[in-house]
Structures are given as C-alpha cells and as structure tokens.
A = this chain, B = another copy of it.
C-alpha cells in the first residue's frame, strides 16, 4: 500500500510515475512540525530499529547513527562524517520490532536526515523547502516495500549486455594512440575487455561534444577499428557548456535561451574545466531536447555509451566568489596577522569551489516559473541524464545505450546507471562501495559500481586486486583512476596474471550475472540486497554489514582488509562456497548455516550459492560478445532435483518482456554428477 501526502506546493521532480490521490488523513508514524519553511518529521526509534536507504551516502548499510544531508556535492575525499555525496536518494526503509515501512520524500531541495545522530533514540528529518510530496509504503516485507517503491518510481534502466564487460578508464588517455595501446595490451595479455572510457582529455579544450583533432583525428575510423576488436569507446560528457562564441553548442544554447540565469536575467557563469561555462536549464523540456540532440554526431560515429560527469553541478569558482576571496585577502593583509583570520583566508580560497552562495545565485525554469536553483539543486544531474536518455531514444528507440552518471536523484534510475562518484584508493572506500550497493538498488539504481582501484591517490597491488574481486559482481565493472596517480591498468602490475584471472571469472559468470540482473530489473526487484531482506527473522543476518545477497540465489562476501588471510562470513542458511582463483581453478565447499572463518589468499574470492540453486559458468572470452551463453558448467550443492531459469536476450532490445527470454532448465539428482565434492554436482549443460 502506497499513500501520498502533499505539503505546500511541491516542485515537479519526474521521480514518480504513478499518479496517486493525496491522503487527507493525518500522517502516521511521524510527528509533524513546521519551523519557517521547514517541514520536520520526528520519530522515536526502537533500540533494535534499522534504517536502510539513502542510496549513495557514507557509512553502513544500516544508516542509523549519523546525520546525512541531501545536497549533491563533488567530494572525492569523503570519509565517515561526510554528510553529502554526489547524489541524493530520499528513500528510507524503517525496519524494527514496531516498524516496517518505506518513506519517500519527493523533494529536490536540501533535506537533513538526523537518524539517531543528535539523539540515539530519535530520527528527525527536515525538508528545507517544506514543499513536497511524501509517500509512505507499507507491505508485508522489506522486499515487497522495495518492489512497491519501484512501481511508484518506474522500472530501472536497462544497460546493453556489453556494459557488463570489463571497462578500462583513466583520466589521462590523451590520444588515440594511448587508447589503442591500452586496448592492445589487454588483448595481448588475455585480459578481457569490452570498453574504454575517454575522460576529458579527448575534448578540444574540455568542450563538450568536441574532439581534439590533433590527438583523435578521425573518430569514425577509430570507433570502427575498436568495434572490430569488440571494444566500445565510452566518452565523458560534462554538464557545463563553455561560454565561447563560435562554439556551436554555446551559440545554439545562447540563441535558444537555454542556460540557467541570474536574477538580473543574464546567464549564470562559473569556471569548470573549459573555463567560464554556462549551465543548461535541464528542467525545461526544450533544453533537454536541444542537449540530447548534441549527442547525435557521436552516436552517428558509432559511440554506444557515455558517462555524464560534473553534474551536481560542480563549480570551481565564479567571478563573484573570486572577488570575495580577494576582498577578504586584502582585509586580512591590511590588518594584523591574526591566526584565525589567516586560517579563514585559506578557507576563503578553498571554499570558492561548490560554494552555497553560488548555488543560491541562479535560477531554473520550473513550469514556466523562475525557481532558485537551490530549491531544485539535487535534480540537476538527474535531469541531465534524462536529456541524454531522451536523445538516445530519439536516435534509436529500439536500442539500449550505456549511460552512467555521477550525480543523480530518484527518477534518474529509469534513464541511466550511476557510478559511485570519485573515490580514493582507500580500503575504507572499498568497504563503502560494497555498503552503498544495496541502498542504491533499493533506490532503483541497479546498474552501478565504484571506480575500481580508487580514482584519487595511488593504489597498491593488493588493493586493486581486492577492488576487482568486488567488481566481478558489480554490474558496472570499471577500473578508473585520476591523472597524476599511479597508473592503474591491470597490466602495469607484477601480479597482473592474478588480476587477469579475476576479470576472467567475471566473464565466465557474465551470462549468469546478466540473467540475475535482468530478472531483477524486469521484475522491479533488487540485484544486490542486504541480508535482512531475505532473512528478516534472523537478527544476525539483519546486522551483517559486509556481505550482500546477489540475485535469486547468491551471496558475496569480499575480503576488504589489507594483509588479511581470510575473513569471517555469516551464512544465513546452508550454502555452497565457490572459492575462485580463475574460471578453471576454484574450490567448492558445502558450508552449513552459521559462522565461518574462511581462508582467502590474495588471489582468492568467494561466491556463495544457496543449496539447491545452480550456478552457471561459461567459458570466458576476451569480450562479452564472444561468450557462448548456451554451454555451461553447472555447479550445485543439491539434495533434490532442482530447476531454474536463465534470462537471455540480444543484449540491446530496449523493452524486453521477461517471460519471453527465460529458458527453464533442470538438474537431476540422479543424473550425471561427476563433481569431486560429495553432494556438489558439477557437469556440463547446454541450454
């Protein structure tokens, strides 16, 4: 049951697809109050209450015990007390002895989520706008609440199948040659690869939709050559449009009046990579159409995937911000060198970036009305993604394109995936990546992953390997790193063969994982789930913070600590441990429900499979297109006949019907079962 409550004059967000009547009865579960414009929801928490949700945010799967702020922010150096990340996903799920409901705040402005931070026993949620639609969802289970929420907000984005391949990326591939060399090195060493991301280096002076003719002389030919080698180019597109007369996107945007404006009617400008930029007002349909069509030449050149970046929007600085900082500098310089003032001066310059003042200084058109950007800030990236996706659909409505974005808002999950934003080569960010995944799924973002190895700072060999071992299971499996950091391609490291074998396992699992993903997406389910979803009666399972359920039958539990020789795993039921070293080299170990310490060398990682549920491995190949999704090795710990479904399609169909693509298959207990481990079947099947 979904109930809608409305407060004030909500701004449209495109998040919800169901049209529901507004409840007249008082809001249950929360104490409601107002303070100025603010709407404040308060709820006493039971000591055993857990809170899931908030998609991309710091801390655990259970969000209790901290204060989060919905305010999309570019912040690569995030740590456990960072209140805002790149995205805002305003959905919470309360789960406890007296609570089982979902809460969605359809509000694109600032929201504060004090989930037992100020007081351990109280949640206080504050909307700054105060104008919003609020949805309460009650069902019999966590899983059903999540499904209802997806029906409310619409089906998750479907990427093409090749987007489940391994993707290599780095800020710094500054020429066609460097990209070709990276590709060739992967092919030469047998490291599977499906795509290479182009970061801002490929653009002419970082201008969107441009192409450095010196370094990338012929995009068409380059793209064709790569495709012949089963590789896709995946260029970046940033939010800001360089304010340079003669640059076509600027001229057409200016002529159309498509940019965000200041109160005086002039275009808002801020410096980003290309220098002074204007920012498309993506809230307007005609702006999205104009922007979406800008992708067309790249699509025509054969590009089938993009990543949208800098769309919080990140702002390096504005003229007025610079003036203000220098004014402060003058003030301090002429005064005495007091240390507090000197410190504030450092802040004055570093706070020029993503300055709240700047976000308050421009306007967007919402339903023909000028609305301060601050009130719709968290929609910006989502609306850019929508513009792109609408453009792709106009270009080819039958086909799926790859699209993933840094900034997002619920609703964007229908149009693209997300990566988890710029991160660091930190072990803590590896764990955070895992912990964000189920909450992103809950908010609709099934196609997701983190920058494997870490974007900023220098990775170590063991950290990259452990990141890859998580990445084997994330729909987006991208190795990405920043200019100036240690080169992070697998082949740079002495233990590259171990990492290659890890990626090869991904390819051996790809048809199975793709099937699990598509089944989840097409049934409004979750690909990754907290253990609480399937084992809600088991308090031990509900508290697990470093393991995830995957699809219908699997659980992952990656090693996420340096120098560890293994890890503890809690099995909520009997499961088969498959400990991988390569597609050919793995152990099968049936394990009983309960606690286990399991040794894992650096090259080993586990997948757990529920009893009487089959796992399918195919022969790995150098690219996803070459995979044979008919012949498999089936692994199953079974004590009865089992049957299951494999989802297969052409990898591109934009509107597949689930039932039309399922192939039913059975494993018979009495059949040919030549596994070497008693009770564990392992045999070839052809579907």
Contacts and interface: CB of A to CB of B under 8 A. Distances in A.
Interface of A: 50, 59-60, 62, 64-66, 79-81, 116-117, 119-121, 271-273, 275, 316-317, 319, 322, 326, 329, 333, 337-339, 342-343, 345-350, 352, 424-428, 457-458, 460-463, 494-495, 539-540, 543, 545, 561-565, 568, 570, 595, 597
Contacts of A326: 329, 333
Contact of A65 (B62, B426, B428, B462): B462
A58 to B, nearest CB: 11
B117 A460 contact: yes
Contacts of A564: 543, 545
Contacts of A319: 337
A66 B426 contact: no
A349 B345 contact: yes
A317 B337 contact: yes
A229 to B, nearest CB: 32
Given A80-B428, A595-B597, 12 more contacts: A60-B561, A65-B562, A66-B460, A116-B460, A272-B339, A275-B339, A316-B342, A316-B343, A346-B346, A346-B349, A543-B564, A570-B597
A323 to B, nearest CB: 10
A271 B339 contact: yes
Contact of A339 (B316, B329, B424, B463): B316
Given A339-B316, A597-B595, A543 B562 contact: no
A543 B339 CA distance: 45
16 contacts: A60-B562, A60-B563, A65-B460, A65-B563, A66-B562, A120-B462, A121-B494, A271-B337, A275-B339, A316-B343, A322-B337, A322-B342, A345-B349, A540-B597, A545-B564, A595-B597
A45 to B, nearest CB: 12
A424 B79 CA distance: 11
Given A329-B326, A428-B428, A457-B81, A62 B563 contact: yes
Contacts of A59: 562
Nearest to A274: B339
A495 B563 contact: no
**Of listed A337, A424, A457, A462, residue having the most chain B CB within 10 A:** A337
A464 to B, nearest CB: 11
A571 to B, nearest CB: 12
A77 B310 CA distance: 26
A337 B323 CA distance: 11
A65 B316 CA distance: 34
A430 to B, nearest CB: 11
A564 B568 CA distance: 15
A460 B120 contact: yes
Contacts of A329: 326, 329
Given A60-B562, A120-B461, A562-B59, A426 B352 contact: no
Contact of A119 (B60, B117, B426, B494): B494
Nearest to A345: B349
B275 A563 contact: no
A64 B563 contact: yes
Contacts of A66: 460, 562
Contacts of A272: 339
A120 B565 CA distance: 15
**Of listed A322, A539, A561, A563, residue having the most chain B CB within 10 A:** A563
A50 B117 contact: no
Q: Across chains A and B, which 4 residue pairs bring their CB atoms closest together, nearest first?
A: A346-B349, A346-B350, A568-B568, A316-B339
Contacts of A428: 79-80, 428
Contacts of A348: 349
Contacts of A338: 275
A658 to B, nearest CB: 36
A272 B338 CA distance: 10
Contact of A79 (B50, B79, B460, B545): B79
A568 B566 CA distance: 13
A81 B565 contact: no
Contacts of A62: 563
A494 B116 CA distance: 13
A283 B635 CA distance: 70
A302 B345 CA distance: 42
Contacts of A117: 458, 460
Contacts of A495: 120
Contacts of A565: 539-540, 543
Contacts of A595: 568, 595, 597
A61 to B, nearest CB: 9
Contacts of A316: 339, 342-343
A431 B583 CA distance: 36
Contacts of A427: 80
A347 B565 CA distance: 40
A532 to B, nearest CB: 12
**Of listed A80, A343, A347, residue having the most chain B CB within 10 A:** A80
Contacts of A271: 337, 339, 342
A315 to B, nearest CB: 10
A65 B427 CA distance: 11
A348 B345 CA distance: 10
A350 B353 CA distance: 15
A352 to B, nearest CB: 7
A152 to B, nearest CB: 28
A96 to B, nearest CB: 12
A530 to B, nearest CB: 12
Nearest to A601: B47
Contacts of A345: 349
Contacts of A275: 338-339
A539 B316 CA distance: 50
Nearest to A80: B426
A347 B561 CA distance: 32
Nearest to A48: B565
**Of listed A59, A460, A543, A564, residue having the most chain B CB within 10 A:** A460
Contacts of A339: 271-273, 275, 316-317
A329 B348 CA distance: 12
A121 B345 CA distance: 44
Contacts of A64: 562-563
Contacts of A494: 119-121
